[in-house]
Structure 1
């Protein structure tokens, strides 16, 4: 298994999120309290093997199934290690900070619509 480490020396807290695509292999994201994947392990996210569908996605057509993942954690993180088999994992749209619960935007929109109706 190969890995890459992304250092954030200034740190980030509360959560981490990203979109990922995998071709037939699983992967792992680990969040650490110090740079170079050192210090306390604050959390892990397992990346499922999503596979691919014919004739879609990137120029090679392989990375065409994407899933959003994220997690909240306590403390300050300074690095993220992404592990998996070479050339089988793609990562996009990394988010540092609080990770909203699924459906949060829908709830907020529903409340907003209710308030708008009351004003009429």
Structure 2
């Protein structure tokens, strides 16, 4: 039971990232990252749309917290979305150069923390089923 609570707490804490950054992106557009007064309207629109998806993924991960041992399929699907986004971010790093520190931390979450949480959730669910 302690492991379940710890996994739930860490996943809930990790949900803060997409909820806060996605929500900020929806409300503020790219200016909070870009730091200038105006950007092209299409960039603003796309940034807010992607921020909305990011926020939605955060909400969807929140639904995995209760009964986390039974939410493996959803957890893996959402995790796959995050990893694919991380691979896209890695491609940007390799092709366009290193982004700011916040984006590097995002890359660490996307290609490090989330896969580890996916593996932990799957292992925990297997142990629960076996018991």
TM-score for both structures, normalised by structure 1: 0.27
- Structure with larger RCO (C-alpha < 8 A, sep 6+): 1
Give the number of the structure whose alpha-carbon radius of gyration is greater: 1
Larger strand proportion, structure 1 or 2? 1
